[in-house]
Each structure stands twice: as structure tokens, then as C-alpha cells.
Amino acid sequence: MNTNTLKMVITGIQDRASSAPVDLLSIAKAKFKGVMSSLGVLASFMVLAMWMNQPLRVELASWLIPTGAYQIFQNGFETVPSVAPQAAKIPTSLVDTNALDPKILKSGAERQAVASYISNKYKIAHSASLDFVDKAMTVSREVGLDPTLILAVTAVESSFNPLAESKMTRVHVEKFQLFGGHEAALDPDANMRVGSLILREYIAKGGSLHAGLRLYVGASSIFISDGGYGEKVLAERDRLRQAAALRVASLGQSLY
């Protein structure tokens, strides 16, 4: 082999050696893109499956939410005892009449209208919103408060999300010991019942609905701001009552 041929062979070997890392890098990049593409397709199928399949949604929930909340989410909500006996110990004469209205939401049409309002505003199923309305009616009879006030408090506290932990729960956590402790705060029945009982107590203690709402949210003196909480609750109650009134008015007009 002459000198020129030997140089050509050595140069070829060097060229292949220098290009090897580039080729390996290209192959690695291609494989990575393939893996990411496959993961994207898999993720899309998982999202679709979770949308269509309740068991898979529940399985995902077990990864994302605390154990106590997950148990409630998976097993459903247990029956919660009535708070009527405790509410009866608070004299009605001490409760601001602005917090009372035994006539509101008595008709099915009113309840359906309010449920539609809640469903549209808070983006929940109509059946779920109607369930909240029915719960509020039951609790209203137990504690003697306006059901639209109870719904307004629920709206401001949790936006009708049963897994949301409200500020009221943190302020009055000891009250929930009667209903199973911290986990009971995630039960809409317990949350609404205990919250309404506490509100009745504070309305009586404060002497007015406004004062009761301040105490309810932890603003125990004039030097502590309620962050506009009371006004938000009362404004939402007005909107709920308007939804019910509009439905009644439309039914009245249809009779003529």
C-alpha cells in the first residue's frame, strides 16, 4: 500500500469517527420525538376515557386529592343527623327577621328556576344544583333560616364545589367534630347543616343579619374586616331571589 492510499484510508476512518456522535445524536432525537408523540396520544386517550368513564375519574382522584376527601368522593356522602334540636335552643325572637323567609322557594317552579341559575352560573349539572336547592330547603326547615340565604352562603364559600374547603370550615373546625371531624366538612350535608346552625347562632348573638355574617366569617370586632363577605352573600341572595321571582312572574303572565 503506497503512502497516498494509506492517507486516504486514515482520512476516511477519521471522517466516520467524527460523524458518529452526530448520527447517534440524531437517532436519539428521533427516538425521543417518537416517545413524546406516543405519550401525547396516550394522554389524549386517557382524557377521553376519564371523560366517559366514572371509575377511571375516581382512580385519578385518588392521585390528586387527600385521602380523607378521596374516601368521601369514592364512597359517597353518608346521612348526616338533623341540627333541628340544636337550632331550637336559639330563640327565634333573637334572630333577625331579614334572615327568615318561610315562604320562599315553596313552589317547584321557583326551585327549578333557582337550580337553573346556579347551574348556569357555577357550571354544574342541573341535577346537582337541584340537589343543593333541596338540601337548602331541608336545612332551612331545621334551622329556620331563609333557604336562599343558605344557598348564597354556600355559593360564596365554595361555589357549590363539594370538595372545596371554605374559610368557615377553618374558622369553626371544632363544630364539625359533631359530624365526623375535618372530613365531614367535605360532606355538603354536614357543611350546610353545621354552617347554617353556626350562622343562626351568630345572627342571634350579633343582633342582626349583617353582624351575624361578620361573626360567621371570623370578623369578631369592628377592627377586623370581613373582606366584603357579608355584602357578597347578601348580593348573591338577592340574585337567587330574583331568579325565583322572575319564574313566578312569568308563570303568572302565562295565565292571562
CATH class for the region spanning 79-254: mainly alpha
Q: Is 30 helix (H, G, I), strand (E, B) or coil?
A: helix
pLDDT band at 197; cut points 50, 70, 90:
very high
pTM greater than 0.75 (yes/no): no
pLDDT in tens, 118-168: 999 999 999 999 999 999 999 999 999 999 999 999 999 889 987 776 666
Residue 218 pLDDT = 84
CB 174 within 8 A of CB 194: no
Q: How many CB atoms lie within 10 A of CB 43?
A: 10
Is 151 within 8 Å of 114 (Cβ atoms)?
A: yes
Distances (CA, A) of 250 to 58, 119, 253: 41, 20, 5
Instruction: Name the residue ranges covered by the structural domains of the chain.
Output: 3-52, 79-254
> What b/e string do you get for 231-248 counting C-beta neighbours within 10 Å, with b at 16 or more?
ebbbebbeebbebbeebe
Per-residue pLDDT averaged across 207-229, rounded?
A: 88
Q: What is the mean pLDDT of the chain?
A: 75
Q: Is 178 helix (H, G, I), strand (E, B) or coil?
A: helix
pLDDT for 1: 56
